[in-house]
Structure 1
């Protein structure tokens, strides 16, 4: 595990974006695992800047997102499909048919999970981008006695619903379920980039990176992976 700390979020975002650009320039057909939430927004902005500057093309890559809410149409402004189009896909030359997210509107959610797993098995991820939840969740893999290896439907914990409520008009509008890539799928990525920003992530980052490996903190399982790059701003990295 490599841990890098940055004095500012802008420095962190620039470094992360450059890492992805390097991967694409080295392997134009790379497969990227992408995340949503506030953490990656700055990274995506830097990637778009580099694309607009003519430094990189996304035309041959493939992307898989970690998760999607159950019950939200892709056109819903709070869906992760909408988020990705707003912050990245709508500004680069990535073909629509090479950008994949779980389908939270699928009539058969179990079949959708199996479909997504089959695609992941056929096209392994080169670099998986991850944020971390305040309770240690990665993707929407919440703390529990046991964790799923593959893509599955999850009942979101109260603390996750509260953390995501800021994106909705009210707490009642926050979806209670999501489809998420499993921890086993995440750990199959060749490289994992874990990003932490802000003082409110300092305690959980310490627990995830230096504490015991336990399903009570799903991010701690990243300690078992051979190639993890951790990027932290000054506040998030104060204890590691």
Structure 2
């Protein structure tokens, strides 16, 4: 098992820094594997809430390659989906999850947010009921360049959100990030609205692992850890979650004092 080069806490949040994204991904995969193994020793079914995005790719590959997890006893959820795009759209998070996870591990169930539903409010209610019926044993997160968790951008983030799933308007920084990471050809093609699991629902998970590698995350990591705990940087709420760990590489941690 690889070890982080630096460990420290910021408020209640454990932070671990690695020499490279690959080392980080491999270590986090082992941490997730052991946690799921332990959960499945204590109960019949485990529930996992997964994130999409480039920050998750090496971790998901490492976790699947590692083996040792009985996926037939795991129910999977995902954090968000664009409103109005089909499940086979190249940028669909359902497609990302189906190709990168579901087809490779055959979980007991994978509950998807139906982004192309004709009744978005009803879809929020449907997914809320699924989440509430199955407490989340592990939540995997990334951090957006505007500090968002899932699609909880600063303008719509609510640390005491009464909802578990909601429909939100995406801010320009978020939408531009989707272009910069190659999900869409230009800003005009990025949907303006999306479904998201809320911050209060994320924080109810029994264990949270948050991966934030790469130089482009350095500014938001610094703001998250050294600024105020505020919805101006939604990810800062993780500093109040003792069940959460933030995993960084030397690039994303480069601006930390």
The interval holding the TM-score normalised by the smaller chain is over 0.9
What SS class does the counterpart of residue 147 from structure 2 fall into? coil
RMSD: 1.5
Is 1:218 the counterpart of 2:234? The answer is yes
Q: Deviations over 1:67-119 (max 9, x none)?
A: 01111111222100100122221111214xx1112211222111211221222
Q: Deviations over 1:195-216 (max 9, x none)?
A: 1111121121121123211111
The structure 2 residue matched to 1:190, chosen from 206, 210, 213, is: 206
Give the Cα separation in 2 of the matches to 1:75 and 1:163.
21
Is 1:235 the counterpart of 2:223? The answer is no
Query: Structure 2-normalised TM-score?
Result: 0.87
Contact 1:70/1:104 (CA < 8 Å) preserved in 2? Answer: yes
Give the Cα separation in 1 of the matches to 2:81 and 2:236.
23
Contact 2:157/2:199 (CA < 8 Å) preserved in 1? Answer: no
1:33 aligned partner: 49
Q: CA deviation at 1:18?
A: 1.0
Q: CA deviation at 1:225?
A: 1.6
Query: Structure 1-normalised TM-score?
Result: 0.92
Give the Cα separation in 2 of the matches to 1:225 and 1:56.
26
Question: Alpha carbons of 1:45 and 1:70: their partners in 2 closer, same or farther (altered >3 Å)?
Answer: same
1:78 aligned partner: 91
Give the Cα separation in 1 of the matches to 2:131 and 2:190.
28
Give the Cα separation in 1 of the matches to 2:128 and 2:60.
25
The runs of 4+ residues in structure 1 deviating greater than 3 Å are none
The structure 2 residue matched to 1:7, chosen from 12, 19, 23, is: 19
Is 1:208 the counterpart of 2:221? The answer is no
The structure 1 residue matched to 2:131, chosen from 120, 127, 136, is: 120
Name stretches of at least 5 consecutive residues in structure 2 with no aligned partner: 1-12
1:137 aligned partner: 148
Name stretches of at least 5 consecutive residues in structure 1 with no aligned partner: none
